[in-house]
Amino acid sequence: MTPREIVSYLDEYIIGQKEAKKRVAIALRNRYRRKQLDKELQDEVVPKNILMIGSTGVGKTEIARRMAKILGLPFIKVEASKYTEVGFVGRDVESMVRDLVNASIMLVKEEQKEKNQAAIHDYVIDKITQKLLPALPKGSPQNKQDEYKIAYDKKKKSVLEGKEDHLKIEIELPKKSIEFQEGNLPPEIVRIQESITKVFMSSNKESPKKEVTVAEAKEILKVEASEELLDMDSIRLEGLKRAEEDGIIFIDEIDKVAVSGNGSSRQDPSKEGVQRDLLPIVEGSSISTKYGQIKTDYILFIAAGAFHLSKPSDLIPELQGRFPLRVELNSLDEEILYQILTQPKNSLLKQYIALIKTEEVDLEFEDSAIRALAKLSQKANEKTEDIGARRLHTVLEKVLEEVSFKADEYKGQKFVINEEMVHQTLDDLIENTDVARYIL
């Protein structure tokens, strides 16, 4: 997709923030451009990492997540505040790269499942048909074999059409594997754990059996079919390659590890330590994972933070230099909040209308009521903490509380939310700042 097409797609879901959308779209297009270069020059071109600055709820994470989703890229979001310097108790920063590799392999696996859907489906139908129609004894005469083949094809068609879904068959359930949390363990230890798991699995040769309906078996056997038909080695290799070449790591709350010059947090070694540990990963280094080595040179890093109590210049200079592109996201005013409620493809209002529709109630919002919701949300953001578009969730829940609770009473009716109702519910709450801090 061209940068213009990426921005056009993001506009369907996120209102405003044109500058941030453009920066991200260009960064993605540059990856495509890099792949068209000669190998020698390709190795020299590294992604230009982005630092997004803006208060919570203005769309920082949503821009990166939507963009990765449409392009099918390996993407993970992590919080800088959950990492600690090496030597402290907690997660070390290298684990974010391992998480990216896991996400990448899962992405490739799902793609392969999608491609092999027909083969997986055929495997499952064959397996069920064999259970319903036991095989002929070896050495059966040719005429019996011909008759069996006709009966088999007929039975298979019947299973395919769902005519046998009510019947019960006995199937082998997949063996439950022993799950180990990777955490901060070195990849070598993780591999040893997996080897131990395999020993336990192989020692228990008997697979658990269960009697289920044919309809249930169709779902259960998909796991077995995937294991049999998918080439896991090629999936791992492709997953590693994709993480290396196309991976995106979104580091949120980067401001929480910035050390302000006048604060006592200057004495907190873990904050500066996390930044120093981040440096080699963002700059480019080799990280060991249980699937093999991965170079982080071409991973795109997008960092984001509100920077209320600190400034981007409070980050250590070396780390600042690794995020050359900076973009400031705008705070949301009343008009933008109104557009967020009405314009996106799956806007909040559309979500609530669809939810209440499941109770056979037609929910309707008058335009004046939507304007009032936007205005009061903006007022609440000004009076208390500015939490951006997230305030709309709180305000809407408060206004729709009664219809949600008594939906069964309004069954088959139309329920209209008007301006008066919005003011009646919210005015007192927003005017009383102390109450607003707790409720809104």
Is residue 360 a contact partner of residue 412, using CB atoms and an 8 Å limit?
yes
197 CB contacts (<8 Å, ≥6 apart)?
177, 178, 180
| 84 vs 367: which has the higher pLDDT | 367
172 sits in which H/E element: strand 168-172
Query: 109 pLDDT exceeds 80?
Result: yes
- 17 phi-psi bin (left φ>0, alpha ψ -120 to 50, beta other): left
Per-residue confidence at 76, pLDDT binned at 50, 70, 90? very high
Which of 251, 235, 333 is closest to 291 using CA atoms? Answer: 235
Q: What was the pLDDT predicted at 433?
A: 65
What are the beta bridge partners of residue 172?
209
Q: Average pLDDT, stretch 47-76?
A: 88
The span from the CA of 376 to the CA of 353, in Å, is: 21
Q: What was the pLDDT predicted at 90?
A: 66
Q: What was the pLDDT predicted at 437?
A: 64
Is residue 298 a contact partner of residue 244, using CB atoms and an 8 Å limit?
yes
Domain architecture of the chain: domains with CATH? 3-109+238-328 (3.40.50.300), 129-173+208-229 (no CATH), 179-205 (no CATH), 334-429 (1.10.8.60)
pLDDT digits (tens, 9 = 90+) for 234-258: 999 999 999 999 999 999 989 888 8
SS3 (DSSP) at 46 = coil
Per-residue confidence at 266, pLDDT binned at 50, 70, 90? very low
Which of 36, 45, 11 is closest to 25 using CA atoms? Answer: 11
The span from the CA of 104 to the CA of 163, in Å, is: 39
Query: 189 pLDDT exceeds 70?
Result: no
Query: 203 pLDDT exceeds 70?
Result: no
pLDDT digits (tens, 9 = 90+) for 129-163: 888 887 777 777 888 888 888 888 888 888 888 88
Q: What was the pLDDT predicted at 207?
A: 65
241 sits in which H/E element: helix 232-246
Look over the chain and give the mean of its residue pLDDT values, rounded to a whole number. 84
Q: What was the pLDDT predicted at 264?
A: 47
Full DSSP string of 197-238: HHHHHHH--PPPEEEEEHHHHHHHHHHHHHHHHS-HHHHHHH
Query: 286 pLDDT exceeds 60?
Result: yes
Per-residue confidence at 271, pLDDT binned at 50, 70, 90? confident
